[in-house]
Amino acid sequence: MASTVLTLFGFAAAFSFFGDNQNMSVPELVCPAGNLPSLKTAVDNGADWVYMGLKDETNARNFAGLNFDARSASEGLRYAHAAGAKMLLAINTFPQGQAAPRWQRAIDDAAGFGIDAVILADAGLMKYAAERHPQLRLHLSVQTSATNYEAINFYHERFGIARAVLPRVLSLAQVADVIKNTPVPIEVFGFGSLCVMVEGRCALSSYVTGESPNTRGVCSPAKAVRWEKHGDILDAKLNGVLIDRFAAGENAGYPTLCKGRFDVDDETYYAIEEPSSLNAMALLPELANIGVAAIKIEGRQRSPAYVAAVTRIWRAAIDSYATHPERFSIQPDWASGLARVAEGQQHTLGAYHRKWK
């Protein structure tokens, strides 16, 4: 895997026309926390920001056994601030009908906690937050699907958005165009799972489970997942639908509909999306040169060990780049460390290097 990462670094040189070191910024590092141990691990390993969610449908990682209640959120905020880090609360799903007060209460709680910023997707909630808690910093969630600067500027002008997280469907040229045309600092994903859908517009999972990450916070709820062993074969099912079948010794990933294998024209393969992690470390110099304000690590559903490894490696890489930008290179131990925790043990530059752009 190390050779794969080093080969991908060649793409960074290809995009050198975006800027030079005179325009260099050093992106902040934004890391996931699915629970209090992960939050503390992220802070201890150098996160500038840590993002988390509450134990309900108001956040897009609403998995059983994860997330925060009022007590753990307060403890996490205290721990982060003591180390000089900041904490984000993701309220990044879309309230339905009469359920809106639950989402509004989450915003009220965030303001009461003294949270550093909330990540919002719904325009109605942004209006509520801006009017009720004008001192509360608002970040535009990737779930908003704002893929152009006009959309981001709209949210900035209407609701005072202080940062925007871009969906993982833009090429590097498109990211640069957004940054050039908005006063809003831009955050992009640097590492973690990919999705075939534009964030905030996923309708695929609800066809099988009746639940959507846009409203319930999870595309494959644990209650719908079943593993069935048939000799040396392991079947992964979602609400009774066969999503994947693994041979003996084959790595078995958590079943999601977009990353299943399907029979298409007498072939069985990942027809929609192959399990793979985004790894944009090779593009760190270009992301800095075009003015990216922050790099986000995906993985609130992952373990504290994952959070520790990815945070530590990205912290080392960003610090190395900040010290000697002209000599930045990916170290072998960084490459191998990220390869070990990549989904499917493989990774990609995703949309950042799309040749058609």
Q: Where are the domains of the chain?
A: 2-194+276-353, 206-269
Model confidence at 197, pLDDT cuts 50, 70, 90, reads low
How much is the average pLDDT of 237-255?
86
CB of 119 within 8 A of CB of 88?
Answer: yes
Comparing 21 with 256, the larger pLDDT belongs to: 256
CATH number of 2-194+276-353: 3.20.20.70
Beta-carbon count within 10 A of 82 CB: 9
pLDDT for residue 14: 37
0.95 surpassed by pTM: no
pLDDT for residue 1: 36
User: Which residue type is seen at 155?
Assistant: Y
Question: What does each C-alpha distance from 142 to 64, 217, 232, 311 come to in angstroms?
Answer: 22, 14, 40, 20
Q: In percent, how much of the chain has pLDDT > 70? A: 90
CA distance 61 to 237: 20
How are the residues of the chain apportioned to helix, strand and coil, as percentages rounded to the nearest 5? Answer: 40, 20, 40
How much is the average pLDDT of 14-40?
74
Q: What is the mean pLDDT of the chain?
A: 88
Q: What is the pLDDT of residues 148-187, one digit of tens each?
A: 999 999 999 999 999 999 998 899 999 999 999 999 999 9
pLDDT of 93 strictly over 70: yes
Model confidence at 355, pLDDT cuts 50, 70, 90, reads low
Name the DSSP letter for residue 82: H
Q: What is the pLDDT of residues 249-283, one digit of tens each?
A: 887 777 888 788 888 888 887 777 677 789 999 99
pLDDT for residue 353: 80
Q: How far is CA 201 from the centre of its chain?
A: 15
pLDDT of 212 strictly over 80: no
Comparing 9-18, 68-77, 260-269, the range with the smallest average pLDDT is 9-18
Residue spans of beta strands (DSSP E) within 80-141? 86-91, 117-120, 138-140
Q: How far is CA 351 from the centre of its chain?
A: 14
Candidates 155, 157, 158, 154; CA nearest to 139 is: 155
pLDDT of 73 strictly over 70: yes
CA distance 315 to 38: 16
